[in-house]
Structure 1
């Protein structure tokens, strides 16, 4: 499964346009593959990487994978749900995740919380493989999960994300989808007061 998801993870991290000094958040980091990939871009000492996952087991796996980076303070693992991200307002330059939005019970709160922690103009990207997910639903997996991306995209728009769109991509003969969204730029008043 790691190899299967790794294509999507590498692409979503690349599409995030991470700069060396950015603060980046991965939601639902699982075994830490996305965190490991994002670290390649965060070469400036100011660059920070945050991972949020509810699973203690995934925290253990990621801690093993990222031990030196955790010890140096470059990576911070946060345990919790996306509906209550333990980070201050407007501190994140980019957010990415893969498939985890399917499991968010309160989409409105989750998307509002993502927007809260993102800096103005920051990018949020999500990957999923709709073909794989639809086959899984047909075979009885993913019970109680909607694989339709439209409710997620509508929730992003409803809380104020801009440029919400979805694109079909292919890499290494694997097709998948990427959902894009951007936090609003600073308001004119905020810009004038800065």
Structure 2
């Protein structure tokens, strides 16, 4: 006699591949539930560790790949926030500031300091909602894009969609703010993400193309996936660390270093690489 009734067993077996698919590209009610409840709980420590290890300083630009519902964007924005300047009283007799009467046009606003990219419409919408205020004042942008896109990341970062056959940006993504495509990033990070990339070498080349010379790329993921991931989820997902570090080297990254880090009860793997320059 089966442990579960046949109908329930069939439903469970159908749900497992759906879960695996949704972990890589959340969609529909299950994807929303993962973004609302599972990802914040499971990835909180990884996101905090990634942002801390990046050592972001005010004035830098950072891209999060696979930004999910937006926790990493919030952490990066907080890390980049400069301390408030000390207010100095104006010298005696100094003229008061007055609006410009014309002549010099206003300077173009700087590109967003923090950009989140995801190829899940569900996650783009959730991240855009979470970062609504920062998007409105130009500090953050959220875009729909595929890190493996055959034509690179610039089309997505310029607001033109993910390329490589990816769907056009969702309405939420298109309204979430558009960064200046020509402005390179000082740092890029992603958590529990790289093993979902079918073309790891292409993805690493794309990331290198939008990173400034000397910029850093940081990855954090759960070590248990390196050891048991293929037995738990889809067998066509490659979790091996060497598959990722080889792709980084093939894409021209240097000073590639990995280490094991414990975060509470979790064992994490941290990978750091730099763009030559």
TM over 0.5: yes
Say whether residues 1:107 and 2:200 are aligned partners: yes
Q: Hey, what's the Cα distance between the residues in 2 that align with 1:94 and 1:32?
A: 17
1:89, 1:116 within 8 Å by CA — same for their partners in 2?
no
Task: Name the residue aligned to 1:18.
Answer: 56
Q: Hey, what's the Cα distance between the residues in 2 that align with 1:74 and 1:106?
A: 31
Match of 1:34 among 44, 67, 72: 72
Task: Name the residue aligned to 1:119.
Answer: 212
- Closer, same or farther in 2 for the Cα pair 1:20/1:181, shift >3 Å? same
- Closer, same or farther in 2 for the Cα pair 1:109/1:132, shift >3 Å? closer
Task: Name the residue aligned to 2:251.
Answer: 159
Structure 1 residue runs of 5 or longer lacking an equivalent are: 186-194
Match of 2:153 among 72, 85, 88: 85
Say whether residues 1:74 and 2:134 are aligned partners: no
Give TM-score scaled by structure 1 length.
0.88
Larger-Rg structure: 2
1:102, 1:146 within 8 Å by CA — same for their partners in 2?
yes
- Closer, same or farther in 2 for the Cα pair 1:104/1:89, shift >3 Å? farther
Give TM-score scaled by structure 2 length.
0.63
Structure 2 residue runs of 5 or longer lacking an equivalent are: 1-37, 83-108, 158-180
Task: Name the residue aligned to 1:192.
Answer: none
